[in-house]
């Protein structure tokens, strides 16, 4: 060990696990994350996995933060290096003064280690080979064993981990015993052979409160159940697949008729994304709430149908769990790079409603709200999350639901309305909000039927090639999007502690990193007001926020600054006033990155307000 002192930290560090995928490590790592949370200490884990089933490198990054910062931080104080393939880069990533836990069964030359870290060898393979005969058990329990060792090294309460194992395998006593035994082997080895605790410690705290630990995809599936969706058409694609799997499993639990075991829902796995969205459009046209979940390539395939749903005004919901693009891109990495593809999806003049949840809580609430919004506006609504919030368990507010709430089915004309003589024109704007009335097939024997189509029609849904009919319709659609501005969730502003001419706009999964960056900047005396955009088309407040400031940073996770493009285009804003802060290597954005960029730009470039330039 050189002069670098071992890092000392309680409840504030990053642990990273380097594993081989398909080895069962993810569940052991998750068990460890939950154990820390059970001690009241906030943890934000992130699974960094390959597009592969078995044998490729995978990492599990766990940020422990008593302060509650849940964004990715970067770097790590403790590396659990279990993958020889990535050994060198894993060792290099450890912060000076950090710690390395590794399988010391096979001796490694000194040159493979670093002088400035504390090396903690545990002969995991040797212990496993001694204790177990079954090859699968040898593999699985090796993971549980290092969890046990970490429990000792970080001075955690063994009983709380033990209790969690008991909770997870409730009813399967054999599994409980076997897992606790493996935990104990690791724990005892560390206690007897290593100096416990190390400089990093977990101490019981009250930072978690009543928060829940959940991933965004499951929350979207639950949101669709609460939002009243009855039909889902889908095609498997990473990272969105588990949205539908969750919807299915919640439906089996909550939507099975108790009397006869029949399903109050229908899920069809289709032959491709075109059929998926076709099923959704057909069901929604026929009066069911319907949705699909997909990712970038699926969005590309669905384009023509999005245009139909927009133009025929069919209320559908699409969950897009974004991944790295373009093309197949980085299927198991995160990005926010489908904004443009969704905002203006399909040929011709189209525009769509987008919602940007920041965490699983909003995946649930905005996911459920999306169905009301789609029905109210009679148009596709996209819920844009990404792999970072979709596939990682995240601490968030517990879900809530108002039992007084009734679904807003929007302007649906009933048989009674038609009999009462209400004038029905499918594409007629009767009250100026641009939203027409619709009827559901089968409503009335003689009134209210219409022929839906993607072609131009007049206000009464009759085929028309007349320019005046076309313009009437397009202008009505524009009015409808003015209405949408007032219905999408409002942006949320956090003001700096001192008045400032600068602002930053961000959305979705950037939220925890931005919150932390805000605090870092404040601590450095850099004051920036921040606004989280939650919907598109943009509410007037979003454009006002920009216009009231000299310059605004637009923080996002794509290469071209897609939110910025939308702001420039929709808000008619001078692009010079919007400064790009872009992170797009496939890893989640960090607070260090955001605060660094903003502080650098403000100091180095001595940003001069444009208004002053003009005045001088």
Partner 1 sequence: MTYLAKPKLLRTDAPKNALGYTRRDYEGAISTLCAGCGHDSISAAIVQACFDLDIEPHKVAKLSGIGCSSKTPDYFLGASHGFNTTHGRMPSVLTGAALANRDLLYLGVSGDGDSASIGIGQFAHAMRRGVNMTYIVENNGVYGLTKGQFSATTDKGSKNKRGVVNNDTPIDLMALALQLGASYVARSFSGDKEQLIPLIKGALRHLGPAVIDVISPCVTFNNHPGSTKSYDYIREHNEAVNRLDFILPRDQINASYEPGSLRRVVQHDGSVLLLRKLGKDYDPSDRVGAMNFLQERQALGEIVTGLLYVDTSAEDLHRHLNTVEKPLNQLRDAYLCPGSKVLDALNASLR
Residues 363-422 that bind partner 1 (CB under 8 A): 398-403, 406-407
Nearest to 532 by CA among 523, 522, 541: 541
Using rule CB under 8 A, residue 42 touches partner 1: no
Q: What is the DSSP letter of 457?
A: B
Among 17, 146, 187, 285, binds partner 1 (CB under 8 A): 285
Among 42, 287, 489, 512, binds partner 1 (CB under 8 A): 287
- Alpha-carbon distance of 336 to 389, in angstroms, equals 11
Give 337 or 443: the residue with its C-beta nearer to partner 1: 443
For residue 514, the minimal CB distance to partner 1 (Å) is 25
Among 135, 463, 492, 540, binds partner 1 (CB under 8 A): 463
Using rule CB under 8 A, residue 440 touches partner 1: yes
Give 81 or 231: the residue with its C-beta nearer to partner 1: 231
Give 293 or 531: the residue with its C-beta nearer to partner 1: 293
Q: What is the 3-state secondary structure (H, E, C) of 272-311?
A: CHHHHHHHHHHHHHCCCCEEEEECHHHHHHCHHHHHHHHH
- Alpha-carbon distance of 491 to 133, in angstroms, equals 58
Note whether 328 and 297 are within 8 A (CB): yes
Among 274, 340, 565, 599, binds partner 1 (CB under 8 A): 274
Question: For residue 64, which phi and psi values (nearest 5 degrees)?
Answer: -100, 125
Beta bridge partners of 94: 76
Beta bridge partners of 395: 213
Using rule CB under 8 A, residue 487 touches partner 1: no
Give 148 or 248: the residue with its C-beta nearer to partner 1: 248
Using rule CB under 8 A, residue 276 touches partner 1: yes
Note whether 290 and 317 are within 8 A (CB): yes
Using rule CB under 8 A, residue 164 touches partner 1: no
For residue 352, the minimal CB distance to partner 1 (Å) is 17
Residues 232-261 that bind partner 1 (CB under 8 A): 233, 254-255, 257, 260-261
Among 192, 206, 271, 431, binds partner 1 (CB under 8 A): 271
- Alpha-carbon distance of 376 to 435, in angstroms, equals 8
Give the x/- contact pattern for partner 1 in 296-315, rule: CB under 8 A: --------xx--x---x---
Q: What is the CA radius of gyration of the chain?
A: 27
Q: Hey, what are 408's tokens?
A: 């807003």
Give 459 or 493: the residue with its C-beta nearer to partner 1: 459
Q: How many residues bind partner 1 (CB under 8 A)?
A: 74
Give 32 or 102: the residue with its C-beta nearer to partner 1: 32
Among 88, 441, 478, 575, binds partner 1 (CB under 8 A): 441
Residues 6+ apart with CB under 8 A from 283: 230, 231, 233, 266, 290
Q: Hey, what are 379's tokens?
A: 């148009």
Among 52, 286, 423, 494, binds partner 1 (CB under 8 A): 286
Using rule CB under 8 A, residue 168 touches partner 1: no
- Alpha-carbon distance of 226 to 234, in angstroms, equals 19
Neighbour order of strands in the sheet with 353-355: 266-269, 231-234, 290-294, 317-322, 381-386, 353-355, 535-536
Stretch that binds partner 1, among 81-89, 105-113, 115-123, 448-456 (CB under 8 A): 448-456
Q: What is the DSSP letter of 209?
A: T
For residue 507, the minimal CB distance to partner 1 (Å) is 25
* Residue 219 exposure: Cα atoms within 13 Å on the Cβ side: 33
Among 98, 148, 216, 278, binds partner 1 (CB under 8 A): 278
Note whether 243 and 215 are within 8 A (CB): no
- Alpha-carbon distance of 185 to 189, in angstroms, equals 6
How many other CB atoms are there within 10 angstroms of residue 441's CB atom?
11
Among 96, 212, 430, 543, binds partner 1 (CB under 8 A): 212
For residue 27, the minimal CB distance to partner 1 (Å) is 16
Give 17 or 305: the residue with its C-beta nearer to partner 1: 305
Give 34 or 485: the residue with its C-beta nearer to partner 1: 34
Nearest to 415 by CA among 460, 378, 446: 446
Using rule CB under 8 A, residue 428 touches partner 1: no
Question: For residue 572, which phi and psi values (nearest 5 degrees)?
Answer: 50, 55
Give 89 or 453: the residue with its C-beta nearer to partner 1: 453
Among 119, 175, 194, 268, binds partner 1 (CB under 8 A): 268
Stretch that binds partner 1, among 104-112, 133-141, 436-444, 572-580 (CB under 8 A): 436-444
């Amino acid at each position: 060990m050189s002069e670098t002192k071992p890092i000392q930290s309680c409840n504030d560090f990053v642990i990273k696990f380097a594993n081989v995928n398909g080895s069962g490590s993810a569940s052991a790592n998750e068990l460890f994350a939950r154990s820390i949370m059970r001690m009241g200490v906030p943890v934000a884990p992130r699974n960094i996995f390959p597009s592969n089933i078995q044998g490729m490198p995978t990492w599990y990054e766990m940020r422990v933060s008593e302060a509650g910062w849940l964004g990715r931080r970067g770097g790590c104080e403790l590396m659990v290096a279990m993958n020889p393939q990535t050994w060198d880069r894993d060792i290099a990533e450890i912060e000076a003064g950090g710690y390395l836990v590794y399988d010391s069964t096979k001796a490694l030359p000194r040159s493979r280690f670093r002088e400035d870290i504390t090396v903690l060898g545990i002969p995991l393979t040797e212990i496993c080979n001694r204790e177990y005969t079954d090859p699968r058990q040898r593999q699985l329990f090796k993971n549980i064993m290092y969890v046990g060792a970490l429990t000792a090294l970080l001075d955690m309460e063994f009983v709380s981990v033990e209790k969690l194992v008991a909770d997870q395998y409730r009813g399967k006593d054999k599994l409980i015993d076997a897992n606790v035994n493996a935990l104990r082997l690791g724990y005892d080895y560390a206690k007897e052979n290593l100096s416990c605790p190390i400089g990093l410690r977990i101490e019981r705290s009250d930072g978690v409160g009543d928060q829940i630990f959940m991933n965004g995809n499951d929350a979207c599936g639950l949101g669709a159940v609460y939002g009243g969706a009855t039909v889902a058409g889908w095609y498997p694609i990473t990272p969105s697949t588990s949205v539908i799997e969750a919807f299915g499993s919640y439906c089996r639990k909550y939507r099975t008729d108790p009397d006869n075991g029949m399903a109050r829902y229908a899920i069809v796995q289709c032959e491709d994304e075109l059929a998926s969205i076709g099923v959704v459009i057909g069901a929604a046209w026929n009066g069911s709430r319907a949705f699909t979940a997909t990712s970038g390539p699926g969005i590309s395939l669905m384009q023509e149908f999005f245009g139909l749903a927009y133009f025929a005004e069919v209320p559908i919901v699409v969950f897009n769990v974004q991944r790295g693009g373009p093309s197949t891109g980085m299927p198991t990495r995160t990005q926010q790079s489908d904004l443009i593809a969704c905002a203006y999806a399909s040929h011709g003049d189209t525009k769509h409603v987008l919602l940007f949840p920041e965490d699983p809580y909003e995946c649930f609430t905005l996911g459920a709200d999306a169905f009301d919004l789609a029905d109210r506006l009679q148009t596709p609504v996209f819920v844009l999350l990404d792999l970072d919030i979709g596939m990682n368990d995240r601490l968030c507010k517990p879900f809530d639901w108002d039992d007084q709430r009734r679904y807003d089915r929007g302007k649906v004309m009933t048989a009674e309305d038609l009999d009462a003589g209400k004038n029905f024109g499918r594409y007629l704007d009767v009250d100026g909000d641009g939203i027409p009335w619709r009827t559901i097939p089968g409503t009335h024997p003689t009134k209210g039927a219409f022929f839906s189509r993607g072609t131009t029609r007049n206000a009464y849904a009759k085929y028309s090639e007349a320019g005046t009919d076309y313009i009437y319709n397009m202008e009505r659609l524009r009015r409808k999007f003015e209405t949408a501005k007032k219905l999408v969730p409002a942006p949320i502003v956090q003001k700096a502690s001192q008045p400032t001419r600068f602002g930053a706009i961000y959305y979705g999964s950037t939220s925890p990193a931005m919150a932390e960056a805000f605090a870092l900047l404040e601590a450095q005396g850099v004051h920036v007001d921040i606004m989280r955009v939650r919907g598109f088309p943009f509410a007037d407040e979003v454009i006002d926020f920009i216009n009231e400031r000299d310059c605004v940073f637009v923080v996002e996770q794509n290469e071209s600054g897609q939110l910025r493009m939308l702001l420039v285009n929709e808000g008619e804003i001078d692009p010079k006033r919007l400064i790009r802060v872009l992170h797009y290597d496939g890893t989640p954005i960090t607070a260090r990155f955001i605060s660094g960029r903003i502080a650098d730009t403000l100091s180095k470039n001595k940003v001069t307000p444009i208004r002053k330039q003009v005045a001088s």
